[in-house]
Amino acid sequence: MSETDSRPTDFIREIVAQDVKAGKYGGRVHTRFPPEPNGYLHIGHAKSICLNFGIAQEFGGLCNLRFDDTNPTKESEEYVQSIQRDVKWLGFDWEDRLFYASDYFEQLYQFAVLLIKKGKAYVDSLSAEEIRHYRGTLTEPGKESPYRSRSVEENLDLFARMRAGEFRDGEHVLRAKIDMASPNLNLRDPTLYRIRHATHHRTGDTWCIYPTYDFAHPLSDSIEGITHSLCTLEFEDHRPLYDWVLTECEVACHSQQIEFARLNLTYTVLSKRKLLELVEEGHVAGWNDPRLPTLMGLRRRGYTPEAIRRFCEHIGIAKRDSVVEMGLLEHFLREDLNRRAPRVMAVLRPLRLVIDNYPEGQVEELDAMNNPEDPSMGTRRIPFSRELYIEQDDFREDPPPKFYRLAPGQEVRLRYAYIVRCVDVVKDPHTGAVVEVHCTYDPATRSGSGQSQRKVKGTIHWVSALHALPAEVRLYDALFTVPHPGEENEGRDYRSFLNPRSLEILTSCKVEPSLKGAAPESRFQFERLGYFCVDAFDSSENRLVFNRTVALRDSWAKIEKTQQTR
Ligand code: ATP
Ligand code: MG
């Protein structure tokens, strides 16, 4: 790709470009995204989706969605559906190329028969434990199974009877006959088929033998004519086996496996097993809990697909594993929302403010910008009246130095409205807490009226008490208290680092009336507070529920600091 091209480039795209130039695969580019339907997709999968679909788009090729559904006990239709929803939401389209490894079970079986006939596979009757024992270690060669020398006829007979259901789980396996002394453990006669009497979510009880990943994956790639089979680094040592399977099965299309580093993110976990545990053990409210890094969770949190795609593009593709800062993901989210999210005013912890000299019953409609970043988003009118709510935090009875918000005797500007001065407070007789602030306003200071050039240091947001809508707001924070919860942390389980304050629910919030009927998933900037979205599940016509998507400024640096000083 040329220097001026703004599209990403990396070692994989370079390989693909060279292959296209050299006319390999007839110049075709065909990739696939191959999830196993045993969980929900997470942000790590987004990296793989963006890579596979992105490369296909850039090179005028195709990308398939293929379910790698060879393990019936852990997979389900629920996951098949959610994965499709998530890939679409992220903005990618597999068109008519939705495939399942289980569609190839008969073909895969025939390939296994071919290997047996060539003397390249045999039925082994050692127990799983014995097979492990015979396998040897990195420093010691393995030992050949006594069943390795079975005749082709005997192997064909046993394999057919495995398929026919004559044996119990684990009684036999089909293994490739490669090299028990290979320095690569994956080549020490790896298992190709195991017996598993389990109902498959698509093939039902048709099969009781299932192919392993190492056998099914290269062949599925080849059957679909995949040119570049992109996978994560842990499969690097499997590549010789990938190639062995394709060579020995004498396939027409020898797909090429290329490995890249998986995405890791701070303050979260990206392992399906751990995510499943968090959900099943009730540490979060479900797969779409806004604290999870699942695509469903990020979506419910208010992430846009554009922000996720930009993030994936930015982090790029590398050959070395690394951990990306959560702050970076949030940076791309803020950047996107800053451009697109309309501004509104909302008060999360309300304190009543009464303007003593404002006429009772009077209402003014004030003009407010929907997005100063984008004047084309227009303006709206917000009602102003004698009684307002402001944020409790914006008033202090005994203000510290440089507190430019409201305090007895002090002036502040009410956003889009007037300058007010605090003249009195009302306290709760029992607790002494300030429950109401009394002010006077200066009618000559209305914003945008051109009358007043008078300036004060602080501006605060507010809503009209009479017009405001009640709302619930859920404030989310990091799910874990340490940057690397999934790694070995002095032997402590990752669950012991769960953040007990990852969710705070505020039920007496007040939002401006323009939010009436706000659509599920719509996103707003609550002025001075952050970005929020309408919860798609719990919000309704009569009940507004918002999730805090992200604060206005990066707060991760601060978290790091408090971690260090602990
Ligand atoms: P498991 O956690 O069980 O190993 P997995 O995360 O690999 O599963 P798959 O459904 O097999 O889940 O993944 C589908 C594709 O997404 C694979 O090609 C895999 O390499 C890729 N992928 C998974 N996790 C990441 C990640 N963190 N970063 C980049 N790619 C990933
Ligand atoms: Mg996997």
Specify whether domain 272-342+471-564 bears CATH 3.40.50.2300.
no
Quick one: tokens of 391? 């944020």
Taking CA atoms only, the protein residue closest to ligand 1 atom 23 is 45
Point out which residues pair with 346 in neighbouring strands: 511
| Measured CA angle at 419 (ends 416, 420), to 5 deg | 125
Q: pLDDT at position 87, please?
A: 98
**Structural contact between residues 324 and 514, judged by C-beta atoms closer than 8 angstroms:** no
| Measured CA angle at 171 (ends 165, 173), to 5 deg | 85
Active site residue 492: no
Ligand 2 centroid distance, CA of 236 (Å): 13
Ligand 2 centroid distance, CA of 509 (Å): 43
Active site residue 558: no
Which one of the ligands is nearest to 68 CA? 1
Point out which residues pair with 228 in neighbouring strands: 256
Cβ burial, residue 539 (10 Å; 0-12/13-18/19+): buried
Cβ burial, residue 86 (10 Å; 0-12/13-18/19+): buried
Active site residue 454: no
Taking CA atoms only, the protein residue closest to ligand 1 atom 26 is 44
Cα 512 vs. chain centroid, distance in angstroms? 31
Quick one: tokens of 472? 């619930």
Ligand 2 centroid distance, CA of 36 (Å): 7
This prediction has a pTM of 0.94
φ and ψ of 557, to 5 deg: -55, -40
For residue 328, give the H/E element and its range.
helix 326-340
Residue 534's identity, in one-letter code, is: V
Atom of ligand 1 lying closest to residue 270 CA? 27
Which residues are CB-contacts of 89 (< 8 A; sequence separation ≥ 6)?
295, 299, 305
Q: Say how far apart CA 406 and CA 398 lie, in whole Å.
A: 10
Quick one: tokens of 246? 């394709």
**Structural contact between residues 271 and 42, judged by C-beta atoms closer than 8 angstroms:** no
φ and ψ of 545, to 5 deg: -125, 125
Render 331-386 in DSSP notation, one character per residue: HHHHHHHHHHPPEE-EESSEEEEEETTSPTT--EEEEEES-TT-GGG-EEEEEE-S
Indicate the CATH number for domain 22-260.
Answer: 3.40.50.620
Q: Say how far apart CA 415 and CA 464 lie, in whole Å.
A: 12
Q: Say how far apart CA 101 and CA 219 lie, in whole Å.
A: 9
**Structural contact between residues 550 and 333, judged by C-beta atoms closer than 8 angstroms:** yes
Pairs from 424-427 (Cβ < 8 Å, separation ≥ 24)? 424/356, 425/397
φ and ψ of 61, to 5 deg: -105, -160
Which residues are CB-contacts of 146 (< 8 A; sequence separation ≥ 6)?
126
Q: pLDDT at position 558, please?
A: 47
Atom of ligand 1 lying closest to residue 264 CA? 27
For residue 226, give the H/E element and its range.
none
Strand order in the sheet with 62-67: 30-33, 62-67, 98-100
Q: Is 126 helix (H, G, I), strand (E, B) or coil?
A: coil
Question: How is the chain split into domains, by residue range?
Answer: 22-260, 272-342+471-564, 346-461
List ligand 1's pocket residues with C-beta within 6 A: 34-36, 44-45, 47-48, 231-232, 262-263, 270-272
Per the residue annotation, which of 272, 300, 386, 413 is the catalytic one?
272
Quick one: tokens of 19? 């292959």
Q: Is 102 helix (H, G, I), strand (E, B) or coil?
A: helix
φ and ψ of 15, to 5 deg: -60, -45
Q: pLDDT at position 450, please?
A: 65
Going residue by residue through the chain (566 aa), what tens digit of pLDDT does each one get? 444 456 678 999 999 999 999 999 999 999 999 999 999 999 999 999 999 999 999 999 999 999 999 999 999 999 999 999 999 999 999 999 999 999 999 999 999 999 999 999 999 999 999 999 999 999 999 999 999 999 999 999 999 999 999 999 999 999 999 999 999 999 999 999 999 999 999 999 999 999 999 999 999 999 999 999 999 999 999 999 999 999 999 999 999 999 999 999 999 999 999 999 999 999 999 999 999 999 999 999 999 999 999 999 999 999 998 899 999 999 999 999 999 999 999 999 999 999 999 999 999 999 999 999 999 999 999 999 999 999 999 999 999 999 999 999 999 999 999 999 999 999 999 999 999 999 999 999 998 776 667 889 999 999 999 999 999 999 999 999 999 998 767 789 999 999 999 999 999 999 999 999 999 999 999 999 999 999 999 999 889 999 999 999 866 554 444 444 33
For residue 63, give the H/E element and its range.
strand 62-67
DSSP state, 204?
Answer: B
272-342+471-564 and 22-260 share a CATH fold = no
Helices (H), 102-190: 105-117, 128-134, 152-163
Atom of ligand 1 lying closest to residue 230 CA? 18
Residue 364's identity, in one-letter code, is: E
Ligand 1 centroid distance, CA of 45 (Å): 6
Topology of 346-461 in CATH? Answer: Ribosomal Protein L25; Chain P (2.40.240)
Ligand 2 centroid distance, CA of 198 (Å): 20
Per the residue annotation, which of 36, 313, 364, 436 is the catalytic one?
36
For residue 437, give the H/E element and its range.
strand 434-442
For residue 416, give the H/E element and its range.
none
Q: Say how far apart CA 446 and CA 465 lie, in whole Å.
A: 19
Q: Inter-axis angle of helices 11-22 and 43-58, to 10 degrees?
A: 30
Quick one: tokens of 179? 């090299």
Q: Say how far apart CA 132 and CA 149 lie, in whole Å.
A: 19
Q: Is 476 helix (H, G, I), strand (E, B) or coil?
A: strand
Q: Say how far apart CA 462 and CA 353 lie, in whole Å.
A: 9
**Structural contact between residues 180 and 136, judged by C-beta atoms closer than 8 angstroms:** yes
